[in-house]
Amino acid sequence: MGISRSSYYYQSQKSTDLDWKKRIEKINESFPGYGYRRIEKQLRIDGYIINHKKVLRLMKKFEIESSHMRKKNQFQVYKKFNDGRPFENLLKDVEITDIGEAWATDITYIKLNNGFVYLAAIIDICSRVIVGWAISKKMDYVLCINALDSALSRREIKKDCIHHSDQGSQYRSDEYVKYLKEYGFRISMSDKGSPTQNAYIESFFKTLKYEEIYFRQYKTIQDVMKKLPKFIEEVYNAKRLHSSLSYKSPLAYEKELTDRAS
């Protein structure tokens, strides 16, 4: 045909905007909370070369939005009862570099058609893996202990592992504090009125709500029990790219740390 082999292959591999649209929409469907930067990283992982400016242009052109843009709900703030801080914040000016060295935990609500259920979750600060969680209609210390049991049944902790939380009454309860001490945790708490000091777990809750609960429109307790475990284990822990982890998923980042240490 009078053309070089390299020219033929170059032209045959060139993607049109519609090709990119399909790829971006596929990622957007699986990860509705991804913005253009994370989509660009995922495309590169999938073997496609594209820059983030082009991704942004295409998303605007084809009106592809992340769930963060679709829904801008304000989070309900529920009251916490404080009577002084019994424990210091041990995370101040401390760099966490190993898995099982520090866990952070908190409780959030999930609004349904008829009332609320509560989720207590525990995150490994180093890898951002959600190591344990529990669901209940009651926001009490039993919920928190169930989440901790979930984590301890699946994970090993380092000696003197830090357990960080806010000053919620559940975490200050005699029962919960006793449980932590039995397992050898060093207890750490945020300063009063300082939610940013527990930013690791708060970031997870924000992702969970915008990319799963609001987006999938949870309505019943059955929705929670069926869909939430899948999101935590199969999406958030295993697939979702984290900018703070060099755009790796938490489990992939853990594997990299483990391989590097062995």
Structure confidence by residue, pLDDT tens digits, 64-82: 887 666 554 433 333 333 3
pLDDT for 209 beyond 60: yes
CATH of domain 102-261: 3.30.420.10
Angle at CA 234, nearest 5°, toward 107 and 127?
Answer: 65
Q: What is the pLDDT of residue 11?
A: 41
The tally of CA atoms less than 13 A away on the side-chain side of residue 41 is 15
pLDDT for 7 beyond 50: no
pLDDT for 83 beyond 60: no
pLDDT for 175 beyond 50: yes
In the chain, % of residues over pLDDT 90? 61
Angle at CA 41, nearest 5°, toward 40 and 42?
Answer: 90
Least confident of 40-44, 49-53, 191-195, 243-247: 191-195
Q: What is the mean pLDDT of the chain?
A: 86
Q: Average the pLDDT over 133-147 and give the result.
A: 94
Q: Average the pLDDT over 125-136 and give the result.
A: 97
Q: What is the pLDDT of residue 192?
A: 80
Angle at CA 91, nearest 5°, toward 34 and 180?
Answer: 100
Beta-bridged to residue 117, according to DSSP, are: 110
Q: Average the pLDDT over 221-227 and give the result.
A: 92
Q: What is the pLDDT of residue 81?
A: 37
What is the band of 85 on the pLDDT scale with cuts at 50, 70, 90?
very low
pLDDT for 168 beyond 70: yes
pLDDT for 105 beyond 60: yes
| Domain boundaries, given as residue ranges, for the chain | 5-70, 102-261
Q: What is the pLDDT of residue 77?
A: 36
More confident residue, 28 or 173: 173
Least confident of 74-83, 99-108, 112-121, 144-153: 74-83
Q: What is the pLDDT of residue 36?
A: 87
Q: What is the pLDDT of residue 29?
A: 83
